[in-house]
């Protein structure tokens, strides 16, 4: 029979062992819990950082103005699966936001190469084009007022499209083609190119292209609220074919 003191000591040692084991298990549990919490926090941080980076503004390729003072940036929208957002007009030196305009287009996300910017040599106007939906390219025009504010110059597209449709003798448009800025003329007017799959040469799979010259400034050299149609001309078949061949060759390179 064990002596009471011996039994007491044995029970005490056993309790200490169980306590130590419990503390050890508890310590491991707390370490594991802390690791899980740390991992979860890092995962949330990474996801948040990725989402933030996804919506960060990025400069549009080759969008620097001729005087080197202004550049265009793209701020993607937050709607998942929708290509939309805001284009920002920024001062290069300070990063100051001078203006912005909303856009939406084809695809799930727009990048630095999704837009093409055409500046007027005096850096007071720019035209921009992008793919609005599958098979249709569109564009817009913006100018700077004397007070430094940037505004859109609306286009009388309904008027010149109506005239083009009438000249071609068709009942309507197919909706696949383009209505995009092409170049600035020496006198400051802007040329848009209009084409549609329903406007073709007889018995040929070749779309007609029209050159629409627009005046975008008033007599005081201020941006017009609505551009004025100066001329509408059909580009020759030979010139259209030459341009398409040249474009195909560039795409192959």
| pLDDT tens for each residue of 46-97 | 433 333 345 678 899 999 999 999 999 988 775 555 567 888 999 999 999 9
d(CA 147, CA 5): 99
Q: What is the pLDDT of residue 31?
A: 55
**CA of 218: how far to CAs of 65, 79, 189, 225, in Å?**
22, 39, 11, 9
Nearest to 210 by CA among 184, 172, 237: 237
Residue 230's pLDDT band (cuts 50, 70, 90): very high
Q: What are the start-end ranges of the H helices in 170-218?
A: none
φ/ψ of 246, rounded to 5, equals -65, -40
Cβ-count burial 96-108 (b if 16+ within 10 Å, e if not): eeebbeebebeee
d(CA 186, CA 251): 29
Across the chain, how many H-helices and E-strands are there? 3, 12
Please measure the distance between the N-terminal and C-terminal CA atoms of the chain and give it in whole angstroms.
99
Tokens of residue 71, six digits: 């550049």
Q: What is the pLDDT of residue 205?
A: 81
| Top-ranked range on mean pLDDT: pick from 86-90, 97-101, 116-120 | 116-120
| Coil, strand or helix at 30 | helix
């Amino acid at each position: 029979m064990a002596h009471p003191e011996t039994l007491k000591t044995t029970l005490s040692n056993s309790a200490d062992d169980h306590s130590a084991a419990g503390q050890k298990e508890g310590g491991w549990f707390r370490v594991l819990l802390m690791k899980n919490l740390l991992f979860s926090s890092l995962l949330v941080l990474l996801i948040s950082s990725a989402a933030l980076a996804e919506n960060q503004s990025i400069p549009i390729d080759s969008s620097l103005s001729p005087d080197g003072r202004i550049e265009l940036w793209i701020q993607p929208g937050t709607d998942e699966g929708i290509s939309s957002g805001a284009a920002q007009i920024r001062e290069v030196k300070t990063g100051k936001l001078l203006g912005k305009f909303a856009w939406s287009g084809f695809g799930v996300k727009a990048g630095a190469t999704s837009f093409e910017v055409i500046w007027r040599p005096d850096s007071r106007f720019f035209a921009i084009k992008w793919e609005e939906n599958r098979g249709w390219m569109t564009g817009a025009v913006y100018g700077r007022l004397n007070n430094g504010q940037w505004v859109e110059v609306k286009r009388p597209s309904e008027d010149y499209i109506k005239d083009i449709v009438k000249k071609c003798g068709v009942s309507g448009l197919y909706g696949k083609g383009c209505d995009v800025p092409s170049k600035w003329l020496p006198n400051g007017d802007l040329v848009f190119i209009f084409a549609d799959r329903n406007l073709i040469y007889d018995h040929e799979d070749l779309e007609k292209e029209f050159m629409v010259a627009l005046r975008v400034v008033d007599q005081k050299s201020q941006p017009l609220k609505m551009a004025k149609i100066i001329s509408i001309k059909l580009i020759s078949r030979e010139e259209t074919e030459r341009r398409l061949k040249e474009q195909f060759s560039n795409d192959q390179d």
